[in-house]
Amino acid sequence: MKHFRGAIFVSILALIIAYIYGGMTALVLAAILGVMEISLSFDNAIVNARILERMSYKWREVFLTVGMLIAVLGMRFLFPLLVVSISAHLNPIDALMLAMAKGDPSQPGTYAYILNHAHPMIAAFGGMFLLMLALDFFFDFQVVHWLGFPEKILRKIGRFPAATSLCSLILLLILSHFVAKDSFLVLFSGLIGIVLYLAVQGLGHLMAQHGTLAEVEEELENSNSKQSTPPVLLTGKAAFGLFLYLEMIDASFSFDGAIGAFAITPDPIIIMLGLGFIGAMFVRSLTIFLVEKGTLNELIYLEHGAHWAILILAILLLLSIAIEIPEIITGVLGAIIIGCSLISSLFYNRKSRR
């Protein structure tokens, strides 16, 4: 339980603040949003854990502190304000006043209505980012396969140069031309998602490579007599690059929940308390738990299940440009896929022991 003490404390504090802010109704809504965020974010925690296990203990603390502030204030509070500001041509202060005024989400001009109206752009951006994340995993060489046939097919496609970017661009062109009502905005937003993914991933790889080489050389100089050295945990520029990459992935996972929360309440304070302080803190604690317990190495198919859940989430996000898809479908499908990969991993371990 030591990994979740902080999350429990923050959740209790958030519920108390919600009660002071809006009474029992606000407390219940914040609790519902927190549970929704946790249920939708198991795949997020698994992917985050795989990246975080390469970073030093100091940077893991940064992920829990600075990263938490980015998740709460950035994605659950400032990001919706920014979207409303751009969509309604308002300055951030006016957007904040509009948010605090609440109003009926079905009425034009209200905060929730404007944000829902901008959903196709957000879905195109987040969907393309997550799609490239999932395809990069399946197109890369994998020692083991969970779903043998489809993963082997994807691996063969991945042998083609720049397969991830090419497949993502083709899908984006099809969506913007045949599915989206406002093809230009969807195309533009999707391209931003692709460019940002490539830029952040490239920056992370450059910094990680530079930092790893420097630290390995230093390690070898200090221990020439040793036959082998332990795995190097990244620090400095290398860890900072991975931290940026990690935050972008975390932000992309937040789009669906941040927009879907307005179906429950348009109040940005309750959304920040529920999604941010309760949901995001539990997801971060779960990430640290997975890293320190080595769960991903013990359950070999869990990472595959998480990336299949990400691929489905990306497809559902892109389809939501034209079709309304309830968040419960995304959460249930993701949970079923990850649950199946967990069961498959346990059977594999039992078979291996025999």
pLDDT digits (tens, 9 = 90+) for 223-239: 444 444 455 676 777 77
**Other CB atoms closer than 10 Å to residue 299's CB: what's the count?**
20
User: Helices 5-40 & 236-260, crossing angle to 10 degrees?
Assistant: 60
**Other CB atoms closer than 10 Å to residue 26's CB: what's the count?**
21
Number of domains in the chain: 1
Structural domain harbouring 24: 2-353
**Other CB atoms closer than 10 Å to residue 182's CB: what's the count?**
14
pLDDT at 101: 72
Give Dmax over CA atoms of the chain in angstroms. 73
In our burial notation (b when 16+ CB lie closer than 10 A, e otherwise), range 44-71 reads bbbbbbbbbbbbbeebbebbbeebbebb
pLDDT at 112: 72
User: What pLDDT, in 10s, does the model give residues 119-176?
Assistant: 888 888 888 988 998 898 899 877 788 988 899 899 999 999 889 999 999 999 999 8
- Rounded to two decimals, what is the model's pTM? 0.75
User: What pLDDT, in 10s, does the model give residues 194-222?
Assistant: 998 888 777 766 665 555 444 444 444 55
